[in-house]
Amino acid sequence: MARMFGTDGVRGVANRDLDCYLAFKLGQAGAYVLSKGKKRPKILIGKDTRLSGDMLEAALIAGICSAGADALVVGVMPTAAIAYLTRYYGVDAGVVISASHNPMEYNGIKFFDGNGYKLPDKMEDEIEAIIKGQEQVDIPAPVGDEIGRKVPVPNALQDYVNFLKSTIDVDLSGLKLVVDCANGAAYKVAPMVFSQLGAEVKVINDNPNGVNINYNCGSTHPEGLQRFVIEAGADVGLAFDGDADRLIAVDEKGQLVDGDQIMVICALDMKERGVLKHNTVVATVMSNIGFDIALKKAGCNFIKTKVGDRYVLEEMLQGGYNIGGEQSGHIIFLDYSTTGDGILTALQLLSVMKRNNRRMSELASVMQRFPQVLVNAKVSPEKKDSYMDDPIISEEISRIEAKFKGAGRVLIRPSGTEPLIRVMIEGADHKEIEDSASRLARLIEERLS
């Protein structure tokens, strides 16, 4: 049976893969596992703007309260806000109802522990085992006044805004921003933060109706923001995803500034100020080779992990590093937050601009983005993980990499959910890497189908 928890909680099409019954059981089992031995534990709940959020929230609250825990409800809030407020309010756990950057028909449920960290696999497995009946436990079923309560938290938004503002030591006066809220969880808080810090703010995609979250907008579709930045004569564009844990920026010329570039800009500033711990940045294997080159040139170290922010965070905690993230714009500033926070990332980026009095295009030019091409090769499921055992495939990979002479690379990665091998090649010549990726994908299909 497939594992219920993926790399970012339980996720699927709402009311089909993730229905009210499962949400109820997640609330019940989650409350039990995350607050063992505590009387009247408290669990904080937030959500994004999806239509299914209300439905799943009601079921989740019912499960939590049925286990004798109080459900503290903050309504629509970014994922990172729940991580922060869980710590700030000293509650036992936090839960977010969101499918992040996915289309509106999807939704998800993910937990944070009392310290604001996503749960380790072992704890998720315990929750899952209880739901599937693989572990027999006596979840409390209180009656009378011991049943949990639903408790609204009226000041949560301002508490989070105050925290975000405290993470930088400059004001943003003189900056003209265009902010794309993706019709998602950032639609209230992001404009508040930037305006209160003195920026001139033009907001787009801030009218969520339950079905327009991430639809042709936000960090996964920044084309509209690019046009708007140029038309408005803005200094910077900022695009968030549905739960606002990612940031993709746009410079004053309408050019994209992705997560790799943002990490390099912020890391070099941190190095200059003497606050880059161990002179190291953590990223995933999907980061552009231009990221590696820029950090090497600046005398910074970098560590690469498997794809997924949880692996980045694990490496950061283990090594004591304070910045890491993904090309997608999911960046963790561990001095301030336990998870990726798009708005916090934007503030760190804007503060670099203000302190150095430089345009975004100048800052971004420190890293050259090499073209990347991704091609999927369809293979037999049982052969998906054995591509390097084939001498003809490994020989072709070596031949392609030898051509690049350090200015390109080949990354082969089996899909976690489909019978596919993902072939990613990057280098200076787009046509060359496109042809190489297509040939390699065809070879893999021929050898492993």
CATH number at residue 99: 3.40.120.10
**CA-atom Rg of the chain in angstroms:** 23
DSSP letter at 277?
Answer: G
Q: Are residues 281 and 295 in the same domain?
A: yes
C-alpha span between 172 and 235 (Å, rounded): 11
Q: Are residues 147 and 164 in the same domain?
A: no
Give me the domain span that covers residue 51.
10-154
Q: Are residues 358 and 219 in the same domain?
A: yes
Helices 342-356 + 259-273 axis angle, to 10? 50
End-to-end CA distance of the chain: 24
Q: Are residues 227 and 354 in the same domain?
A: yes
Confirm whether 224 is domain-assigned. yes
E strand spans, 24-84: 42-47, 70-76
> Pick from 364, 391, 412: which residue ends a domain?
364
Q: Are residues 381 and 337 in the same domain?
A: no
Confirm whether 3 is domain-assigned. no
The one-digit pLDDT tens for each residue of the chain (449 residues) are 568 898 789 999 999 999 999 999 999 999 999 987 788 999 999 999 999 999 999 999 999 999 999 999 999 999 999 999 999 999 999 999 999 999 999 999 999 999 999 998 899 999 999 999 887 888 889 999 999 999 999 999 999 999 999 999 999 999 999 999 999 999 999 999 999 999 999 999 999 999 999 999 999 999 999 999 999 999 999 999 999 999 999 999 999 999 999 999 999 999 999 999 999 999 999 899 999 999 999 999 999 999 888 899 999 999 999 999 999 999 999 999 999 999 999 999 999 999 999 999 999 999 999 998 999 998 888 777 777 788 899 899 999 988 887 778 898 888 766 788 889 999 888 888 999 999 999 999 988 88
Confirm whether 418 is domain-assigned. yes
> Pick from 154, 183, 203: which residue ends a domain?
154
Q: Are residues 227 and 211 in the same domain?
A: yes
Q: CA distances (Å), 247 to each of 55, 70, 143, 372, 402, in order? A: 28, 33, 45, 20, 35
Q: Are residues 302 and 217 in the same domain?
A: yes
Condensed to tens digits (0 to 9), the pLDDT of residues 23-36 reads 999 999 999 999 87
The whole-number pLDDT of residue 383 equals: 79
Check: CB of residue 124 under 8 Å from CB of residue 242.
Answer: no
Q: Which residues pair with 113 in a beta bridge?
A: 93
Q: Are residues 229 and 345 in the same domain?
A: yes
Confirm whether 394 is domain-assigned. yes
Q: Are residues 148 and 194 in the same domain?
A: no
Q: Are residues 267 and 330 in the same domain?
A: yes
Check: CB of residue 289 under 8 Å from CB of residue 409.
Answer: yes
> At CA 441, angle to CA 439 and CA 447, rounded to 5?
100
Burial class (CB in 10 A: 0-12, 13-18, 19+), 209: exposed
Confirm whether 439 is domain-assigned. yes
Domain count, the chain: 3
Confirm whether 112 is domain-assigned. yes
Confirm whether 1 is domain-assigned. no
The whole-number pLDDT of residue 417 equals: 63
Q: Are residues 251 and 290 in the same domain?
A: yes
The whole-number pLDDT of residue 155 equals: 95
The whole-number pLDDT of residue 180 equals: 98
Confirm whether 294 is domain-assigned. yes
Condensed to tens digits (0 to 9), the pLDDT of residues 331-349 reads 999 999 999 999 999 999 9
Which residue, 270, 231, 269, 230, is CA-closest to 250? 230
CATH number at residue 415: 3.30.310.50
Q: Residue 75 region, left (φ>0) first, then alpha (ψ -120 to 50), else beta?
A: left
Q: Are residues 192 and 86 in the same domain?
A: no
- In the residue annotation, 351 being an active-site residue is answered as no
> Pick from 114, 132, 154: which residue ends a domain?
154
Count of other CB atoms within 10 angstroms of residue 144? 5
- Catalytically annotated residue among 100, 219, 337, 436: 100
